[in-house]
């Protein structure tokens, strides 16, 4: 695989896992795309120490932070967070016995977040080394 292939794969994943969590996270406050609370399993709702709406608002904040972190060049950390978050969402959906298609999609997206987290050090680490080298020579 050439460096061009690695870089284009990294940037594709970085944009996807940056923009989509921000959009979904912001929509937790408007419910324009969907009624997000419908995706919470009854078990999760019973276990929550807060209302489902409050939980969704907190989830939205987390998603915006994860997306921003990825877009700002910290995918080497936030890629792992995105992967874990997506697997937790899939587990919640499986426990509800509903939206199994969405659970399968989220497992696939978690694999993409894993790939991003693994690719990120190749790009982000090189970027940091170049900046450090430039500042040393200045």
Give me the pLDDT at residue 130, please: 47
Longest dimension (CA), the chain: 60
Residue-by-residue DSSP string for 72-129: TT-HHHHHHHHHHHHHHHHHHHHHHT--HHHHHHHHHHHHHHHHHHHHHHHHHHHHHH
Q: What is the pLDDT of residue 42?
A: 95
pLDDT tens-place string over residues 67-104: 999 999 999 999 999 999 999 999 999 999 999 999 99
Residue ranges covered by each domain of the chain: 3-137
Please answer whether residues 116 and 13 qualify as being in contact, where contact means their C-beta atoms are separated by less than 8 angstroms. Answer: yes
pLDDT given for residue 137 in this prediction: 52
Q: How far apart are CA 120 and CA 126, in angstroms?
A: 10
pLDDT band at 61 (very low <50, low <70, confident <90, very high): very high
CA angle 116, 118, 121 (to 5 degrees): 100
pLDDT tens track for 18-41: 999 999 999 999 999 999 999 999
Q: What percent of the chain has pLDDT over 90?
A: 83
Sign of CA dihedral 20, 23, 26, 32: negative
Residue of 135 and 53 predicted with greater confidence: 53
Q: What is the pLDDT of residue 123?
A: 87
pLDDT surpasses 90 at 113: yes
Q: Among candidates 135, 115, 134, which has minimal Cα distance to 8?
A: 115
């Amino acid at each position: 695989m050439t460096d061009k292939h690695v870089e284009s794969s990294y940037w594709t994943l970085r944009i996807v896992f940056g923009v989509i969590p921000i959009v979904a996270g912001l929509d937790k406050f408007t419910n324009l795309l969907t009624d997000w609370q419908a995706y919470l399993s009854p078990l999760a709702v019973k276990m929550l120490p807060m209302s489902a709406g409050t939980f969704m608002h907190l989830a939205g904040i987390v998603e915006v932070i994860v997306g921003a972190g990825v877009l700002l060049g910290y995918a080497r950390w936030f890629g792992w967070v995105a992967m874990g978050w997506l697997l937790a969402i899939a587990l919640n959906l499986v426990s509800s016995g509903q939206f199994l298609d969405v659970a399968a999609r989220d497992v696939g997206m978690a694999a993409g977040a894993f790939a991003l987290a693994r690719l990120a050090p190749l790009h982000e680490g090189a970027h940091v080394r170049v900046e450090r080298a430039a500042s040393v020579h200045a």
